[in-house]
Amino acid sequence: MKRIVVTGAAGQVGTELVPALRAAFGNAAVLATDIRRPHGGVLLDGPFETVDCMNGQAVAAAVLRHRADTIYHLAALLSASAERSPQLAYQVNMGTLVNVLEVARDAGCAVFTPSSIGAFGPTTPRDPAPQDALQRPTTMYGVTKVAGELLCDYYFARYDVDTRGLRYPGLISHVAPPGGGTTDYAVHIFHDALEHGHYTCFLRADTQLDMMYMPDAIRASIEVMEADPARLRHRNAFNVTAMQFTPAVLAAEIAKHSAGFRIEYDVDPVRQRIADSWPRRLDDSAAREEWGWQPQYDLATMTADMLQQLREKAAALMGAATEKRG
């Protein structure tokens, strides 16, 4: 029986990972934690505790109370937020990870930690970025992601903690809002397309980045932790990808479903600089070979599903509002 603690569970990834883990391993087996308590929603359908991962004792207490054998550590500051507050980002991203790894060492837990395309920098080959590549990121987010990958590998080699991770590309989801990353435009654009018929993008039209639809990211996160350890030559962290596009290409795909949709550009130099330092495409052959990674969604199927899900949600909200008035 697996017993899992998820940190940073109230964010974009956790809001969908927790229900998926509960569906796979049972509601009571998955303790969701975050520094903030959600006001309702799926996380409260099972056990939830408020835990600040900067406090190692609080992490240890939650893991021991829950008798956890696995920790999914999602608490972090994302790329754009980290560039606004680099010192805080260093403290949060490194401090929480060290605490989680120490608790895992004491309690004998496996640890999943996401890395990111942000762990690469301008000197990494960009198309594609290999699994084993030069990693000299120029953002504080990237610095913490590379250091995090190394720290997780160190805990595996030195203390036999079963650490595994993925370098997520930009994640697209219709459930929870994105938390301050450079690829957030690829979520905002869908909402604005449906609400306003146009979107003003903070990245240049030709900025190609790696992306993935959230159902694929959630499945990858669970599959890598369930993979046969004997087959793993890599651990922290696997390149995974599903699709690559620019804002202009995504806008053209949305326009196929939403006639008259327009995109304009008002480039934010900070986020553009971050995006320009990242790869245009990842080589995820190691994930495919070592644990059978295979994405299910491409640009066309992701776009169609995003629009359908958001339209259904809007219709349900309209229906509920009409019922309330009546």
Ligand X SMILES: NC(=O)c1ccc[n+]([C@@H]2O[C@H](COP(=O)([O-])OP(=O)(O)OC[C@H]3O[C@@H](n4cnc5c(N)ncnc54)[C@H](O)[C@@H]3O)[C@@H](O)[C@H]2O)c1
Stretch that binds ligand X, among 52-60, 154-162, 288-296, 308-316 (CB under 6 A): 52-60
Rounded CA-CA distance 11/176 in Å is 7
Q: Which two tokens stand for residue 263?
A: 């995109």
Residues 98-137 that bind ligand X (CB under 6 A): 114, 116
Stretch that binds ligand X, among 177-185, 247-255, 264-272, 290-298 (CB under 6 A): 177-185
Determine if 279 is a binding residue for ligand X (CB under 6 A): no
Q: Is 141 a catalytic residue?
A: yes
Residues 24-43 that bind ligand X (CB under 6 A): 34-36
Residue 220 beta carbon to ligand X: minimum distance, rounded to whole angstroms: 12
Stretch that binds ligand X, among 12-20, 130-138, 199-207, 306-314 (CB under 6 A): 12-20
Are the beta carbons of 33 and 6 closer than 8 angstroms?
yes
For the sheet with 115-116, list strands across it: 115-116, 166-168, 238-239
Determine if 10 is a binding residue for ligand X (CB under 6 A): yes
Catalytic residue among 72, 141, 155, 185: 141
Q: Which two tokens stand for residue 316?
A: 């349900």
Residues that bind ligand X (rule: CB under 6 A) add up to a total of: 29
Contacts of 93 (CB under 8 A, 6+ apart): 76, 77, 82, 141, 144, 145, 148
Strand positions, DSSP E, the chain: 4-7, 30-34, 48-50, 70-73, 110-112, 115-116, 163-164, 166-168, 170-172, 198-201, 209-213, 238-239, 243-245, 262-265
Q: Which two tokens stand for residue 169?
A: 């590309």
List 19, 121, 165, 181, residue binding ligand X (CB under 6 A) = 181
**Residues annotated as catalytic (active site), given as ranges:** 141
Binding positions for ligand X, rule: CB under 6 A: 7-8, 10-14, 34-36, 51-54, 74-76, 78, 92, 96, 114, 116, 168, 170-171, 178-179, 181, 183
